[in-house]
Amino acid sequence: MGLFSFLNRNNGVTVTQPISVNPEETPVAIPESKFVEHETILSNTQAEEPQIDNNINLLFGFMDRNHEAKGYDDALINSDSSHLAQNLEALKNELERTINKVKTFYEDFIQEIDYHIASRSRSGMVDIVEELEMKKNIALSHMQKISEIENSTNNNTGDCKGILISYTRGFKNGLAAISHHTILQKRF
């Protein structure tokens, strides 16, 4: 049998048995990402402007955070009223630090842009100078808004007052939740 077995090879082609498919079995799901590569397409504005961390968006991001939820969580951790006062002061200090960080960013940016305006003016680049002046005007308007927020923070009005009220509301809701859970649900 082994002597003439080379004749049964079908000229190098191996014959396989057909695979039987059971229609009740579900096929294995293979994720599309294994076979298809998707490209990330950026819009022109995203590709041209780098993301800046210390601009006015940092300040607005701080003010948009959910301070009520933080107050609620803090009350569950420590429900002492002195803890509330300390956390309100810490929150206000964090807002002031954020304002100072953003203000410093814009002050540095304006100094840098002033240098570019002077340099490009000497080179006769009128269009670039106009674009730089437009950017400077935008930065100055942001500085004005930052100053308004800083003044309201110093006077505990406006956005600052809203943050403090939101935190206090959350803290008091946390205190109410503690009372409800520990006392009001007890049957006696």
> Residue 20 has what pLDDT?
54
pLDDT single digits (tens) 114-150: 999 999 999 999 999 999 999 999 999 999 999 999 9
Using an 8 Å Cβ cutoff, are 63 and 163 in contact? yes
> Residue 132 has what pLDDT?
95
* DSSP codes, 50-77: PP-TTSHHHHHHHHHS-HHHHHHHHHHH
> Using CA atoms, how far apart are residues 16 and 137, in angstroms rounded to an integer?
76
Q: In this structure, what DSSP letter does residue 36 have? A: -
Most confident of 63-72, 111-120, 150-159: 111-120
Using an 8 Å Cβ cutoff, are 63 and 159 in contact? yes
Tokens read off for 25: 């079995």
> Residue 169 has what pLDDT?
94
> Residue 34 has what pLDDT?
52
Can you tell me the mean pLDDT for 95-111?
95
More confident: 26 or 59: 59
Q: Which residues contact 149 (CB under 8 A, 6 or more apart)?
A: 59, 63, 99, 158, 159, 160
Judged against a pLDDT cut of 50, whether residue 43 lies above it is answered with: no
Residue given tokens 């200090």 in the structure block: 93
- The answer to whether the Cα torsion of 5, 6, 10, 12 is positive or negative is positive
